[in-house]
């Protein structure tokens, strides 16, 4: 059937208008699409516990033995925070702080701790704030939860899916250290830990995470996922494949135990499985990933010969310490608008994840004044340059109650470490002395007074405990 030129003209106009309207709707939908978020939290992993340079300007800032190609891949795809900190030098307080954006001085080390346990359940959390932004967000926590002393569940804190009240022993804690296993001669006469198919539940965690991601992607739902690895916390468990490989590799000066190296690479493979799934689903351009450890690495492990060089070198101390070895951790952010293979020297902390996620998701209301973290958006979207706006211009680290009372405050390049039991104050310029070898407290008494005053005022405001008390 023939059509008139005039009819064809109007038909073409109709189709063009229809296609344009579809395109506009699609573009509007894409524009309004909420980002996904993934937090990968490792356990007891040192700042130098990977094969990528935590600080590209410091050749000492990686392992001299461990191989972590997938962590390298993640670091190369995003921004390394060279001055990245865990909120605490221990695992449980850090986990509560990432969840809430509150320093441990306001919860785990509160004088009124019993009542704060109840109050903590009512605080803003990452899952809660995302659901305020958009009820379509689906949230999950898989792996180590470790809400010791409080025993609040992930669901109480806003998560849709979780593994429940898990702890170190869920993934193979100290009590499961194997002394049988594969008998291989060792200088101290120990037997190697037993090999496992799913060491530290690494591979089952990866599968569970991938299933969650795939389901939400198919359902067109934005998601928040925190994967809290049980590795590389003790006890040492590993796969057969990786332990055999590390017996053949040249050992380092600070890292040289094949079993621990194998466990580290097992975790790296689990992270690689996750990264592969993100790539396969094509959601990398709309997914932010935060990678960090819950505290610094241990200074020793119960297997292997005597250390030739400190395990966290060039950092001083380790897990449980207020020196850099206990607090500074590998910290990477990747995602939309984040420059690849970049780094930032701006001090950041796990406390900053909540405010950052909230703003990136579109939360425009004022955040609760009690929150200690700040929004990293101006740093990660500005080639690592700028400053993080927080309620206070410094970072506070504190512990007390059932631990030896110690604190640290970092303000600019300077860091003050305080031991409350003997009132010892040490001052370091981290821009010149990342090893914290040179105590400047006697040369710079005015700066010591300034930092100590700020620290004490903050802890008093937080009603933080500064004594050791059994709870």
Q: What is the pLDDT of residue 208?
A: 98
Terminal Cα-to-Cα distance of the chain (whole angstroms): 89
Handedness of CA 155, 160, 165, 166 (dihedral sign): negative
Query: Looking at residue 9, what is its pLDDT?
Result: 46
Which value, to the nearest 10 degrees, does the dihedral of the CA atoms of residues 153, 156, 161, 167 take?
-10
pTM comes to 0.90
235 prior amide bond cis, ω within 30: yes
Alpha carbons 99 and 92: distance in angstroms, whole number: 11
- CA geometry: angle at 234 spanning 251 and 271, to 5°? 75
How far is it, in rounded angstroms, from Cα 465 to Cα 327? 20
Short-list 61, 196, 200, CA closest to 142? 200
Non-local CB neighbours of 224 within 8 Å, separated by 6+ positions = 36, 37, 38, 39, 126, 127, 130, 137, 138, 139, 140, 357
What's the pLDDT score for residue 289? Answer: 98
Q: Rounded to an integer, what distance in angstroms lies between the CA atom of residue 431 and that of residue 34?
A: 38
DSSP-derived 3-state class of residue 159: coil
What is the rounded distance in angstroms from the CA atom of residue 303 to the CA atom of residue 418?
32
Task: Report the C-alpha gap between 308 and 311 in whole angstroms.
Answer: 9
Q: Can you read off the two tokens belonging to residue 42?
A: 């490792």
Provide the 8-state DSSP code for 61.
S
How high is the mean pLDDT in each 10-residue block of the chain (471 residues)? Answer: 49 46 41 88 98 98 98 98 98 97 96 91 97 98 94 96 95 53 36 73 97 98 98 93 91 95 97 98 98 98 90 98 98 98 98 98 96 98 96 97 95 98 97 98 98 98 92 62
In the CATH scheme, what is the code of domain 34-388?
3.40.720.10
Q: Percentage helix, strand, coil, to 5, in the chain?
A: 35, 15, 50
- pLDDT at residue 16 in the model: 44
Which single residue is written with the structure tokens 């009820």?
135
CA proximity to 403, closest of 98, 109, 106: 109
H/E element holding 208? helix 202-218
Distance of CA 422 to the CA centre of its chain: 32
> Which CATH architecture describes the domain 406-461?
2-Layer Sandwich (3.30)
- From 78, 11, 109, select the one nearest 471 (Cα to Cα): 109
Inter-residue contact 233 to 43 (CB < 8 Å): yes
Round to whole Å and give the CA distance between 375 and 146.
Answer: 26
Query: Looking at residue 357, what is its pLDDT?
Result: 98
In terms of Cβ atoms closer than 10 Å to its own Cβ (0-12, 13-18, 19+), residue 435 is middle
> How many Å apart are CA 393 and CA 461, to the nearest integer?
15
User: Residue 225: its pLDDT value, please?
Assistant: 98
Residue spans in the chain of domains classed CATH 3.30.1120.10: 406-461
pLDDT at 6: 53
Beta-carbon contacts of residue 376 (< 8 Å; ≥ 6 apart): 333, 348, 352, 355, 356, 388
Residue with tokens 């010149």: 432
**pLDDT value of residue 402:** 86
Q: How far is it, in rounded angstroms, from Cα 276 to Cα 272?
A: 6
Q: 384: alpha, beta or left, given left = phi > 0 and alpha = psi -120 to 50?
A: left
> What is the DSSP secondary structure assignment for residue 151, as one 8-state letter?
-
Q: What is the pLDDT of residue 31?
A: 43
| Phi, psi angles (nearest 5°) of residue 205 | -60, -40
3-class secondary structure per residue, 403-465: CCCEEEEEECCEEEEEECCCCEEEEEECCCCCCCCCCCCCCCHHHHHHHHHHHHHHHHHCCEC
Tokens representing residue 96 in the block: 């509560």
Across-strand partners of 36? 287
Q: Which regions of the chain carry the CATH code 3.40.720.10? A: 34-388
């Amino acid at each position: 059937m023939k059509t008139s030129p005039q009819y064809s003209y109007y038909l073409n106009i109709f189709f063009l208008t229809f296609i344009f309207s579809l395109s506009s709707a699609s573009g509007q939908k894409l524009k309004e699409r909420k980002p996904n978020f993934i937090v990968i939290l490792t356990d007891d992993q040192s700042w130098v516990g990977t094969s990528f340079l935590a600080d590209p300007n410091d050749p000492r800032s990686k392992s001299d033995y461990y191989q972590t190609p997938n962590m390298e891949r993640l670091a190369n795809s995003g921004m390394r925070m060279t001055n990245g900190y865990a909120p605490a030098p221990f695992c449980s307080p850090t986990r509560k702080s990432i969840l809430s954006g509150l320093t441990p001085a306001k919860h785990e080390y509160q004088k009124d701790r019993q009542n704060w346990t109840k109050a903590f359940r009512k605080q803003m959390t990452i899952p809660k704030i995302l659901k305020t932004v958009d009820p379509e967000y689906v949230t999950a926590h898989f792996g180590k939860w470790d809400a010791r002393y409080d025993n609040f569940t992930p669901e109480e804190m806003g998560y849709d899916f979780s593994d429940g009240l898990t702890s170190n022993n869920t993934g193979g804690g100290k009590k499961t250290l194997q002394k049988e296993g594969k008998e291989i001669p060792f200088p101290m006469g120990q037997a190697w830990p037993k090999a496992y198919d799913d060491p530290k539940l690494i591979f089952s965690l990866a599968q569970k995470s991938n299933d969650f991601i795939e389901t939400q992607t198919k359902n067109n739902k934005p998601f928040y996922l925190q994967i809290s690895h049980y590795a590389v916390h003790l006890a040492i468990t590993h796969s057969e494949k990786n332990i055999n490989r590390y017996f053949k590799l040249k050992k380092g000066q600070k890292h040289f135990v094949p079993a621990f190296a194998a466990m580290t690479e097992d975790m790296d493979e689990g992270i690689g499985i996750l990264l592969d799934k993100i790539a396969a689903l094509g959601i990398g351009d709309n997914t932010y990933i935060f990678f960090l450890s819950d505290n610094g690495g241990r200074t020793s492990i119960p297997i292997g010969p005597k250390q030739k060089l400190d395990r966290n070198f060039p950092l001083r101390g380790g897990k449980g310490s207020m020196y850099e070895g206990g607090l500074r951790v590998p910290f990477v952010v990747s995602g939309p608008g984040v420059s690849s293979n970049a780094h930032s020297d701006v001090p950041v902390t796990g406390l900053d994840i909540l405010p950052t996620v909230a703003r990136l998701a579109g939360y425009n209301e004022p955040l609760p004044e009690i929150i200690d973290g700040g929004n990293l958006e101006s740093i990660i979207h500005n080639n690592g340059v700028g400053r993080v706006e927080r309620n206070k211009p410094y970072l506070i680290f504190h512990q007390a109650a059932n631990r030896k009372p110690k604190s640290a405050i970092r303000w600019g390049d300077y860091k003050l470490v305080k031991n409350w039991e003997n009132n010892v104050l040490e001052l370091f310029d981290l821009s010149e002395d990342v090893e914290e070898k040179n105590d400047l407290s006697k040369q710079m008494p005015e700066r010591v007074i300034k930092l100590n005053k700020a620290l004490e005022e903050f802890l008093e405001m937080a009603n933080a405990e500064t004594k050791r008390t059994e709870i």
